Amino acid sequence: MISATTYGLNQQSQVGEVNYSFRLNWMKPLEGILKLNCDGAVSKENVASCGRVIQNSDDRFVVAFTGKLGMCSILKLELWAILHGLRILVNRNLGHQVIIESDSSTAVRLVNEGCFGSHPYFDLVQEIKELSNQFFLFSYYHILREVNLVADILTKRMMVLEEDFFAYESPPSFIYHLLLADNYVFLSI
């Protein structure tokens, strides 16, 4: 689902043809709010990695982190990406207002709606909810992968690195152009 409140959305259609163009873009947060974009992926070799990028309301890179986890499900990985991103925000005291975006609709739904104690990731979801309460304002949104390009490429890049964890205090060269692309992506159907 594409939500006009979450995405910049323009729809164009030609009469008699089924031709749609959507303008999808990463939307910067309002003044004083940080945005945490998270992603997780599992390679063919079963290397599970996640990437997180934090940007501010001036559309500026704040910090990014990547990490590897042992073998796990993609849902657990997506939840870990959110949890680690929140820990970074709290441990570095980066701000008290945050929007968290993930391209995993299931992870976002679990965090927003909660889950039963019998759910395999109940403890992980509860820890995310507890950390969230340390913020004055927090919101979780599902976004499309095409809008989550920076977190996506950080995640994929981590799969080929030797390190288990890496922090970027400034934008690495391999995502610099994606920071620009995250602001304006076209999807044609």
Q: What is the pLDDT of residues 47-81, one digit of tens each?
A: 899 999 999 988 889 999 998 888 889 999 999 99
Helix axes 74-91 and 105-113, enclosed angle (nearest 10) = 60
Single pTM value for the model: 0.81
Residue 84 lies in a domain: yes
Contact 94, 32 (CB under 8 A): no
Q: Is the pLDDT of residue 6 over 50?
A: no
pLDDT tens for each residue of 124-176: 999 999 999 999 999 999 999 888 888 898 988 888 777 888 899 999 998 88
How does 115-146 read in b/e, with b if 16+ C-beta sit within 10 Å? eeeeeebeebbebbeebbeebeebebbbbbeb
Residue 21 lies in a domain: no
Residue 5 lies in a domain: no
CATH number at residue 164: 3.30.420.10
Q: Is the pLDDT of residue 15 over 50?
A: no
- Alpha-carbon span 29 to 45, nearest angstrom: 36
Residue 20 lies in a domain: no
For residue 142, give both structure tokens: 């599902």
Domain containing 134 equals: 26-183
Residue 23 has what pLDDT? 58
pLDDT tens for each residue of 37-53: 999 998 888 889 999 99
Give 2's pLDDT tier (boundaries 50, 70, 90). very low
Residue 48 lies in a domain: yes
CA distances in angstroms from 4 to 8, 11, 34, 138, 153, listed in the order given: 6, 11, 20, 19, 25
pLDDT tens for each residue of 81-137: 999 999 999 999 999 999 999 999 999 999 999 999 999 999 999 999 999 999 999
Residue 16 lies in a domain: no
Residue 155 identity (one-letter amino acid): T
Helices (H) and strands (E) in the chain, counts: 5, 9
* Per-residue DSSP letter, 58: T
Number of domains the chain is built from: 1
Residue 47 has what pLDDT? 83
For residue 38, give both structure tokens: 């998270």
- Alpha-carbon span 140 to 111, nearest angstrom: 8
- Alpha-carbon span 160 to 174, nearest angstrom: 14
Residue 31 lies in a domain: yes
Residue 9 lies in a domain: no
